[in-house]
Structure 1
């Protein structure tokens, strides 16, 4: 699966099919039915209510025919007022049943919909969390959000409302046909002649609509994805002045969506007028045949009135099929994409004999490691590196040469293509993912906080800890003064992704969180650029406390960290080209000496420090 990173030659759906290792499944019934199994009682109640409502509907023409034929007697015979009164009461009762049961039906359907959609959302969310980091590197966040939100919502009319309404339409069609056959078989014979035409048209409509609405759903996902990416990168867009170009791209995606929507509507818009034509033809046929029956004395006026109702009840469902099949097409198109996501398996999975280690010493070894996000473009190429338990190793080197990739491999966000990564002499692929990561703490350059207070974010590392214990940990690594000085102290809301805190404050929270987790191995991407000197010093102090007694791999940006490291590894082109102490590597006069010389030159030419010194990670 590594070969997909950056693959833009394929469409989004083709990429998703590749991730899932299967094509879009056009037949959804077998997979949709299990979704409604937990709410079968509510669905059965809705279906029962629909049956009662259909029977109430068919009582009306019977009562009207009774009034015409018997309540309104022949000339001179008078009017049967009691019969008319009872008929009117019966009609009122049918409408009362309609209103009362209609509300009950909506309640049952709503309860079922909430449960089905929430269960599906939970299932999608849980599955997304199981996917490997590589999937998120390859997939737009907006597409995932569209699957879990809009696509799931679209299933509600298909799964909950659709079956009862479809059953109601079929019942009305069949019952009307049966009653027409009892009254006037000739009428039914004429109407039945249109059924094969309707069946063929419905099948064609379903095929056309499903393809059209699939394209609409895909284009909707694209502009949703772009919206999510814009929100996430709004600072970059504003800073680079690309808001107009970004808006133009969004408009283009909307135009694609609108074009697909209009084209789809045009392709399927013929179905409703076509069924309307069948209805008009059926009513005209009833009047002709019924009028002839009255003239011949084979049909009463009341029976003709009933027949008109039954013809309408026979043909009205044909028009409803237009909306039902449009919902079916739209719903199944979204269901296909949801199931394609659910069919996507994580790249990294535990083996059947994955071990759970209660404790580790922290010895790490990269043994002849080869890895590339694309098979033909290795990022790590034959790398060998051993780190002793308790050692602080600084990793330096030009940008893009594999330093951060080592972190991805050690935490098993990706698996090596060749070779092995070992922890305490054990291949990390033989250790369960959850257990492995419980022993490895990571503080990356991009600090991530969740909405809530500072204490809420600290408690993520140790849920059972009290407020006093969390604050004590902050004091031990030297972050207390900064965090306590926030507007509401530790009760300060950090905002979305920690946006209400400065970069240095966010990093201090992450360092306290790592300290609370108490891992045996620490991986630190020491990001202290754009941080004031005072905060940088606090972070350096926190790093020193955090690394005590642990194995630490630091992607080093600052001279202070590099000097305090036991050894320094210089990475170039995915290999360790130099390894040793600061003094030894400086004396050697190689790659590290060149990097360090660049740092010293920059420091000498800079004015007195009010800002942090240049980073020691530029390409040489």
Structure 2
């Protein structure tokens, strides 16, 4: 996978094909059949109902022909009222049966659809959660949503409604052909002449339509992805005044979609008129042959009437095939994209012998680590760094030089290209992902809250905790006063992504969550860079509590928050250029002194609160510098 990591030159579909290591345009029939295996009883019931309905349909021409030949006596006096009455009762019964069975068919089809589509959605959702962070870094959120939502919905006509309707069409075609042969073989011979023409046209239509609908599905995914991105970045769009440009881009994507839809419709629109032409030709042929049969006395008027019905029943399925194959083409195109996602394997996986560490001291080592998001463009270069258990290490440096990448590697969102990251002397690639992330907690600048109450979000870190325990943790962190002062206290709804709270309130909730998780290693990645002034003191108190008794890595641009760290590592161009305490580095007059001096001049700093650090154990003095 590293061969195309971050390759922006690839189109969306090409990138998805690279991830899944398969081509988009592959047959999916064999993979669709297992989806309906769990609902075979419901499908069988629908098919059985369709068979009964088809038989009811064919009873009508028989009754009508019987009325014409027997009920309306051409040679005798008047009409046979009892025969006509019974025929009317029979016709009413066939229509009543069709209405009743139609509702029952919809009931079973609905149950089957709900089950198979929900199972598929669950499967897609579960698979998405297993994918590595790198996949989400390079795939638009809207495309993933389109796979799990619209594309899954499109499979319903293909998987649930398609098989019974296709069987019904085949039964009507075959049964009407057989009855036509019984009445007048010459009628069937004339109709069957159009079947090879129809088969060739159907195959051509299937190929053209499938390609067209694949393009439609792709363009639909593009404007859906752009819509999702717009919703997520609405503040940035408004702030930058780019709403008109963004609207123009969306319109362009819609126009691409409309063009592909119109083009696909034009390319496949000939099929329905073509089958209509065949139907008209078949009816004309039936009238000519049937009229001649009546003139010669080989065919009765009732049999001709039956034949006309059978011609309709023979040719109608041919017209229905256009709709069925359009569904097939559209559903297959969406199924290909769903399976493309399901075939995508996570880049980061546990080894078969992955370890689960019950206890972690918190010793960290980056041993000759090199890494880049794109081939040939390393972000981290041969980096060596050791962090002692319980040490508070601050990492500073210019933006884009690898500070946050260290977090990605330590949490194993990405694997190092060269070298190794060790936790308590154990290569993290030999530790299970769940165990590693249970022991390594991360608080990011872009804090994430889910819809629900404050307590709901706190409970994510400790699902078994009661309300009292969650509130006690908030008190310990120093966040209680702020959270309790919300309109409904801890029962306040935070809104989508925490939109109802301030940045500082959201960050306090994330810090309480980190405290509840109680990791052995804590990483604060720009955790204080966007805090409002009113909660600055509470944030500092929370950080002091969080850092006590655990290994802590603090990555920050606000340098006043990390002056009291045991050591400060300065990273430039993916390498550690300086390492030591604040006083030593500030006096050395090197990179850190320049960074801190520039920060002091820009911020006008006076006395500032500092992160409390515990006293270092004498044994920690052995920790080497890079």
The answer, yes or no, to whether TM exceeds 0.5 is yes
Map of 1:129 onto structure 2: 129
**Per-residue deviation, 1:12:** 1.2
**Per-residue deviation, 1:530:** 4.7
**Per-residue deviation, 1:81:** 1.3
Say if 2:411 is the partner of 1:411: yes
Asked if the contact 1:531/1:612 (under 8 Å) is kept, the reply is no
Say if 2:81 is the partner of 1:81: yes
Question: Aligned with 2:563: secondary structure?
Answer: helix
Map of 2:431 onto structure 1: 431
**Equivalent-residue separation in structure 2 for 1:599 and 1:143 (angstroms):** 41
Task: Give the structure-2-normalised TM-score.
Answer: 0.96
**Equivalent-residue separation in structure 2 for 1:475 and 1:612 (angstroms):** 20
Map of 1:284 onto structure 2: 284
Map of 2:619 onto structure 1: none
Map of 2:618 onto structure 1: none
**Per-residue deviation, 1:77:** 3.4
**Per-residue deviation, 1:230:** 0.3
**Per-residue deviation, 1:73:** 1.2
Q: Note closer, same or farther for the CA distance 1:568–1:454 as it changes in structure 2 (3 Å cut).
A: same
Map of 1:375 onto structure 2: 375
- Summarize the alignment of residues 400-549 of structure 1 with structure 2, pairs less than 5 Å apart: 400-549=400-549
**Per-residue deviation, 1:79:** 1.7
Asked if the contact 1:17/1:23 (under 8 Å) is kept, the reply is yes
Map of 1:595 onto structure 2: 595
When the two chains are superposed, the root-mean-square deviation of aligned CA atoms in Å is 1.4
**Per-residue deviation, 1:527:** 3.4
Say if 2:180 is the partner of 1:180: yes
Question: Aligned with 1:564: secondary structure?
Answer: coil
**Per-residue deviation, 1:559:** 3.7
Asked if the contact 2:493/2:500 (under 8 Å) is kept, the reply is yes
Question: Aligned with 2:205: secondary structure?
Answer: helix
Say if 2:573 is the partner of 1:573: yes
Asked if the contact 1:3/1:373 (under 8 Å) is kept, the reply is no
Map of 2:622 onto structure 1: none
Q: Deviations over 1:408-431 (max 9, x none)?
A: 000000000000000000000000
**Equivalent-residue separation in structure 2 for 1:249 and 1:289 (angstroms):** 61
**Per-residue deviation, 1:145:** 0.4
**Equivalent-residue separation in structure 1 for 2:195 and 2:26 (angstroms):** 26
Question: Aligned with 1:369: secondary structure?
Answer: strand
Asked if the contact 2:124/2:148 (under 8 Å) is kept, the reply is yes
**Per-residue deviation, 1:556:** 2.5
Map of 1:41 onto structure 2: 41
**Equivalent-residue separation in structure 2 for 1:28 and 1:533 (angstroms):** 57
Asked if the contact 1:4/1:138 (under 8 Å) is kept, the reply is no
**Equivalent-residue separation in structure 2 for 1:559 and 1:58 (angstroms):** 85
**Per-residue deviation, 1:612:** 11
Q: Deviations over 1:322-355 (max 9, x none)?
A: 0000000000000000000000000001111001
Asked if the contact 2:392/2:547 (under 8 Å) is kept, the reply is yes
**Equivalent-residue separation in structure 2 for 1:612 and 1:262 (angstroms):** 64
**Per-residue deviation, 1:489:** 0.7
Asked if the contact 2:445/2:529 (under 8 Å) is kept, the reply is no
Q: Specify every segment of 5 or more residues in structure 1 that has no aligned partner in the other structure, as ranges.
A: 614-620
Q: Deviations over 1:441-493 (max 9, x none)?
A: 11011000000000000000011111110000000011111111111111111
**Per-residue deviation, 1:212:** 0.2
**Equivalent-residue separation in structure 2 for 1:417 and 1:186 (angstroms):** 76
**Equivalent-residue separation in structure 1 for 2:569 and 2:76 (angstroms):** 115
**Per-residue deviation, 1:565:** 0.7
- Summarize the alignment of residues 379-394 of structure 1 with structure 2, pairs less than 5 Å apart: 379-394=379-394
**Equivalent-residue separation in structure 2 for 1:464 and 1:356 (angstroms):** 21
Asked if the contact 1:532/1:612 (under 8 Å) is kept, the reply is no
Asked if the contact 1:354/1:430 (under 8 Å) is kept, the reply is yes
Question: Aligned with 1:255: secondary structure?
Answer: helix
Map of 1:297 onto structure 2: 297
**Equivalent-residue separation in structure 2 for 1:396 and 1:33 (angstroms):** 55
Question: Aligned with 2:228: secondary structure?
Answer: helix
**Per-residue deviation, 1:139:** 0.2
**Per-residue deviation, 1:528:** 2.9
Map of 1:11 onto structure 2: 11
Q: Deviations over 1:100-158 (max 9, x none)?
A: 00000001001100111100000000000000000000000000000000000000000
**Per-residue deviation, 1:2:** 3.4
Map of 1:151 onto structure 2: 151
**Equivalent-residue separation in structure 2 for 1:460 and 1:519 (angstroms):** 14
Q: Note closer, same or farther for the CA distance 1:529–1:418 as it changes in structure 2 (3 Å cut).
A: closer
Q: Specify every segment of 5 or more residues in structure 2 that has no aligned partner in the other structure, as ranges.
A: 611-626
Asked if the contact 1:527/1:557 (under 8 Å) is kept, the reply is no
**Equivalent-residue separation in structure 2 for 1:136 and 1:529 (angstroms):** 24
Map of 1:209 onto structure 2: 209
Map of 2:620 onto structure 1: none
Say if 2:244 is the partner of 1:263: no
Map of 1:196 onto structure 2: 196
**Equivalent-residue separation in structure 2 for 1:434 and 1:531 (angstroms):** 30
**Per-residue deviation, 1:5:** 4.4
Comparing 523-532 with 191-200, greater Cα deviation is found at 523-532
Map of 1:618 onto structure 2: none
**Equivalent-residue separation in structure 2 for 1:36 and 1:498 (angstroms):** 40
**Equivalent-residue separation in structure 1 for 2:6 and 2:236 (angstroms):** 21
Q: Deviations over 1:473-516 (max 9, x none)?
A: 00001111111111111111100000110000000000000000
Q: Deviations over 1:163-188 (max 9, x none)?
A: 00000000000000000000000000
Q: Deviations over 1:563-602 (max 9, x none)?
A: 2211000011111111100011111111001011112212
Say if 2:59 is the partner of 1:59: yes
**Equivalent-residue separation in structure 2 for 1:546 and 1:330 (angstroms):** 54
Question: Aligned with 1:531: secondary structure?
Answer: coil
Asked if the contact 1:71/1:81 (under 8 Å) is kept, the reply is yes
**Per-residue deviation, 1:37:** 0.6
Q: Deviations over 1:173-224 (max 9, x none)?
A: 0000000000000000000010000000000000000000000000000000
Report how many residues are paired: 610
